[in-house]
Structure 1
Amino acid sequence: MRRLLLALLFAVLVVAGGPVPQAGAHPMSTSAVLLDLRDDRVEGEVQLPVDRLAVAVHRDLTRDSVLGTDRTFLRRYTARHIGAVGKDERSWQVTLGTGTVRTIDGTAHLVYPLTMRPPDGNVTDFVLRYDVIVEELLTHKVIATVRYDFDRGILRTDDAETLGVFDFSAKSLEVPAGEGSWLRGFATTAGLGVGHVGEGADHLLFLLMLLIPAPLVAVGGRWRAAPSARRSVVRVVHVVTAFAAGHSLTLALAAAGVINLPTRPVETLIALSIAVSAVHAIRPLVARGEVLIAAGFGLVHGLAFASLIGELGLDRGALVSTLLGFNLGIELTQLLVVALMMPSLVALARTAVYPAFRIGVALVGLVFSVSWMLERATLTSLDPFEGIQIWLVGHPLLVAATVAALAVVAHRVTPLTPQAERTAGDRVQGTGGPPGAGAGQGVA
């Protein structure tokens, strides 16, 4: 009886056209249509699983034949089954590029670049008609996805939006290309800038190394307390402005294709910039060196920022808006870091604790930067401090609160005497006698 039931089950599956269950079997492969919405055209690609395509066209296809003997036939077949119609009921021009074979989810796919152009050159809402493979295979599915649309804030793979699924019963989908606005895309790119800096331990550490000596002034090759809080604020403004000018210049040049450097050397130079700024925080390399370091190495950081812009596949229409938005996000993040850290650093600089704090933090930054340099130069296989760095970046408010609490305690326990502060101010203004006078007072 049991064998009879199993036989009947097997017969039902065969008659219904269903697959026989197998241990560890994978789901049937699907097709995909990926769309990039531009101002004047829609680009993207069509991904066709070769095994399903072979069934649909009734041919024995292989990875070699789809690019060889069957190449012309398959391209014409695919083009016949893709169409686009605008709101005005006029058909768009559909063009397929040269096909390639790519392994996707373990299955060989024939991939065609896709371009669709409206008659008036203005992309708005349209209906995409598609029945490649599904016109023959009832069970086949085609997933349609928008992976880029600036006006709706879809810029990266993580933002991709699934439009729907084509199958035997649904062979058209409406694509909302007229929704969204320039402001939404601009806000999204600004958010990318905020996230890129906010999640980048190296960029944040570089900025912190530049801020540590900002409340101080270099006198006789040593750090001394600045004559006033106003002087400290001015120095911070100079540092932030210099860094912004440096990274903005190379960001624009790299995004426009004028500069193109490999990622690894750029990332290694960023680690070097942190090392240099950390050494400068311990002992001034040159007067106003943090401004020079911010401007010079800001050029390098701009190249790193541009790598993300390059991944977005922007066209000229969105390039300027993206650069402005991305830069705005970077600057907002920098200002937030300054607002969180600078009041505490200025207060700490007026205490006897600051020399130890400054040198300790700078040494940590130096160790991190050297570790990054070794890893990025492929001299080591991993960064042993990665866990600590991730934790610190993930808890910025806790870090800022800890420094603020230290500033409050230090200001009450070990403040600099008024005479020490006046001595430091006199030295900066050149009225405090020879450089060696009053050694040990006002040292920060």
Structure 2
Amino acid sequence: MSWLRLIMMATALFILASHAKAHLTPNSEVNLDFGQQQAVADIIVPQGEYAFATGNPVRNSPDSLAKAKAYLIGHMAVTTPQGRPWRLVIDRIEFVQIAGPPDLHAVVRLIPPQGVTVRRLAIDWRVVIDTVPNHFVLFVVRSDFAGGRLDKERQVLGALQGARHRLVIDRGTASSLKGFQAAFALGMRHIAEGHDHLLFLFALLLPAPLLAAGGVWRGARTIRMALWQITKIVSAFTAGHSLTLIGAAFFDWHLPPQPVEIGIALSILISAIHAWRPLFPGHEPIVAAGFGLVHGLAFATVVARFGLDIQEKALSILGFNLGIEAVQLIVVLAAMPSLLMLSRTRFYPACRSISALVAGLAAIAWLVERLVGYANPFAQGIDMLLGHAGYGIAALTIGAAVAFLLNGGRVADTAR
């Protein structure tokens, strides 16, 4: 192989590896998902190259799809590294425009012989590359629970071109613990980076230490009552998003992203208004559970790729949920002592109103952004500030301690 060809392949590999969202180049791509008993190959072959290599029609007619299926089966083989053949089952085949020019798209199950691990295999691939010399196919791991890979960063395994048509894959030893740890870390990262989820929870917790009377927040709950209210709110939110996570993983519950994101922004706006003036006093846990269902639908886009088997999905959801709860618990434990102290001072009405205003403005900015589909500077600024929320909690803690001391440790009338 010439140096020029090596450089071209390396450049193409780099471009494709860095582009994790869509197939946009005129080369083929095989995305692999590894389960316990089988692997799944999501195959994309450019329609033009397929037609040139085969002379077959490219319509979604029974005859055209039958020829495409026969061509794929006849030009790809999967075996153990020692040569024992695997069984290939094509579950879906279609001509479709995924991104860029139209493609031949197929989903193929790769099933090893009885008693053979799914984690070591050899792929013999001659689709298009045996006819079109400059065409290559990129092999990528999209998900591998037992290998601890669940995030969006795809792992490039290699590329085949021309006379090089065999790729040996070794995914190492399977480990459920690796998958659980990866799901836990992904849950922590997802909620930590999900500023809207945490802002909703914070806005709902702002009035948790208070009692409502006459359409205003008046007086403070006892510490025990406040802690119980906080526990109910956080638990209800957890129950809500856990339900939709389970539904997404096992029953394919999902909605288009835009209405879900709009619903999340609305949940923050409503919670911010409630923090300013009571809208549903005493019913915060019910509201948290209801909006938790909406927030869970946003998490559902992540869990949809969690494992191919029931056990893997269950462990993934458990780890992902525990990761979310770990961050939520850290946020609650960090913020609530300050809010409890402030709620017993004359300074809390102003603090609560300003916090509610900031949350409401952030919600409106996100709502506009998600309705029109374009980023706006204010929403981007809010995201940037919330990325440094730890400093805000530290400032809140110091301010709460000072306010409590200035107030002489006495409970003040917080009617507003």
Band of TM-score, shorter chain:
0.7 to 0.9
How far residue 104 of structure 1 moved from its aligned partner, in angstroms, is 7.3
Report 1:385-424 matches (<5 A).
385-412=378-405, 414-416=406-408, 418=410, 421=411
Q: 1:295 to 1:85 in 2, by over 3 A?
A: same
Q: 1:44 to 1:358 in 2, by over 3 A?
A: same
Paired position in structure 2 for 1:318: 312
What amino acid does structure 2 have at the position aligned with 1:295? A
In the alignment, the residues of structure 1 paired with residue 248 and residue 312 of structure 2 have an alpha-carbon distance, to the nearest angstrom, of 15
Paired position in structure 2 for 1:198: 192
Check if 1:187 corresponds to 2:181: yes
Paired position in structure 1 for 2:34: 37
Contact conserved, 2:366 with 2:379, CA < 8 A, in 1? Answer: no
Check if 1:237 corresponds to 2:234: no
Report 1:130-169 matches (<5 A).
130-156=125-151, 158-169=152-163
SS of residue matched to 1:36: strand
In the alignment, the residues of structure 2 paired with residue 104 and residue 289 of structure 1 have an alpha-carbon distance, to the nearest angstrom, of 45
Structure 2: gaps of 5 or more residues? 9-14, 17-24
* 2:78 counterpart (76, 84, 103): 84
SS of residue matched to 1:120: coil
What amino acid does structure 2 have at the position aligned with 1:322? S
In the alignment, the residues of structure 1 paired with residue 261 and residue 357 of structure 2 have an alpha-carbon distance, to the nearest angstrom, of 20
In the alignment, the residues of structure 1 paired with residue 316 and residue 126 of structure 2 have an alpha-carbon distance, to the nearest angstrom, of 35
Paired position in structure 2 for 1:23: none
Contact conserved, 2:209 with 2:221, CA < 8 A, in 1? Answer: no
Contact conserved, 1:198 with 1:393, CA < 8 A, in 2? Answer: no
Paired position in structure 2 for 1:125: 120
In the alignment, the residues of structure 2 paired with residue 37 and residue 107 of structure 1 have an alpha-carbon distance, to the nearest angstrom, of 28
In the alignment, the residues of structure 2 paired with residue 178 and residue 296 of structure 1 have an alpha-carbon distance, to the nearest angstrom, of 42
What amino acid does structure 1 have at the position aligned with 2:44? Q
Per-residue Cα deviation, 1:344-389 (whole angstroms, up to 9, x for no partner) = 22232233221101011112222333444455455x8665631222
Q: More deviation in 401-410 or 388-397? A: 401-410
How far residue 331 of structure 1 moved from its aligned partner, in angstroms, is 0.7
SS of residue matched to 1:385: helix
> How many residues are paired up?
396
SS of residue matched to 1:34: strand
How far residue 405 of structure 1 moved from its aligned partner, in angstroms, is 3.1
Larger CA Rg, structure 1 vs 2: 1
SS of residue matched to 1:240: helix
TM-score, normalised to structure 2, is 0.81
Report 1:234-273 matches (<5 A).
234-257=228-251, 259-273=253-267
Q: 1:257 to 1:215 in 2, by over 3 A?
A: same
Contact conserved, 2:205 with 2:230, CA < 8 A, in 1? Answer: yes
Contact conserved, 1:123 with 1:178, CA < 8 A, in 2? Answer: no
Q: 1:216 to 1:416 in 2, by over 3 A?
A: farther
In the alignment, the residues of structure 2 paired with residue 256 and residue 142 of structure 1 have an alpha-carbon distance, to the nearest angstrom, of 32
Per-residue Cα deviation, 1:11-49 (whole angstroms, up to 9, x for no partner) = xxxxx9xx9xxxxxx999433222222222221233334
SS of residue matched to 2:304: helix
TM-score, normalised to structure 1, is 0.76
* 1:46 counterpart (30, 39, 43): 43
Contact conserved, 2:40 with 2:108, CA < 8 A, in 1? Answer: yes
In the alignment, the residues of structure 2 paired with residue 381 and residue 55 of structure 1 have an alpha-carbon distance, to the nearest angstrom, of 40
SS of residue matched to 1:144: strand
Supply the RMSD in Å over aligned alpha carbons.
3.6
Q: 1:32 to 1:361 in 2, by over 3 A?
A: same
Report 1:238-387 matches (<5 A).
238-257=232-251, 259-310=253-304, 314-376=308-370, 383=376, 385-387=378-380
Contact conserved, 1:215 with 1:349, CA < 8 A, in 2? Answer: yes
Contact conserved, 2:209 with 2:226, CA < 8 A, in 1? Answer: yes
In the alignment, the residues of structure 2 paired with residue 104 and residue 376 of structure 1 have an alpha-carbon distance, to the nearest angstrom, of 23
* 1:95 counterpart (89, 94, 99): 89
In the alignment, the residues of structure 2 paired with residue 220 and residue 101 of structure 1 have an alpha-carbon distance, to the nearest angstrom, of 63
Contact conserved, 1:39 with 1:317, CA < 8 A, in 2? Answer: no
- Identity of aligned pairs, percent? 36
Q: More deviation in 114-123 or 202-211? A: 114-123
How far residue 244 of structure 1 moved from its aligned partner, in angstroms, is 1.4
Per-residue Cα deviation, 1:413-439 (whole angstroms, up to 9, x for no partner) = x31563xx2xx6xxxxxxxxxxxxxxx
Q: More deviation in 239-248 or 104-113? A: 104-113
In the alignment, the residues of structure 2 paired with residue 177 and residue 62 of structure 1 have an alpha-carbon distance, to the nearest angstrom, of 37
Q: 1:108 to 1:276 in 2, by over 3 A?
A: closer
Paired position in structure 2 for 1:9: none
Contact conserved, 1:145 with 1:161, CA < 8 A, in 2? Answer: yes
In the alignment, the residues of structure 2 paired with residue 284 and residue 352 of structure 1 have an alpha-carbon distance, to the nearest angstrom, of 19
Per-residue Cα deviation, 1:269-299 (whole angstroms, up to 9, x for no partner) = 3333222322221233344333332233223
In the alignment, the residues of structure 2 paired with residue 133 and residue 260 of structure 1 have an alpha-carbon distance, to the nearest angstrom, of 36
How far residue 335 of structure 1 moved from its aligned partner, in angstroms, is 0.7
Contact conserved, 1:50 with 1:62, CA < 8 A, in 2? Answer: no
How far residue 71 of structure 1 moved from its aligned partner, in angstroms, is 5.7
Contact conserved, 1:348 with 1:407, CA < 8 A, in 2? Answer: yes
Paired position in structure 1 for 2:21: none
In the alignment, the residues of structure 2 paired with residue 81 and residue 226 of structure 1 have an alpha-carbon distance, to the nearest angstrom, of 73
What amino acid does structure 2 have at the position aligned with 1:155? L
SS of residue matched to 1:196: helix
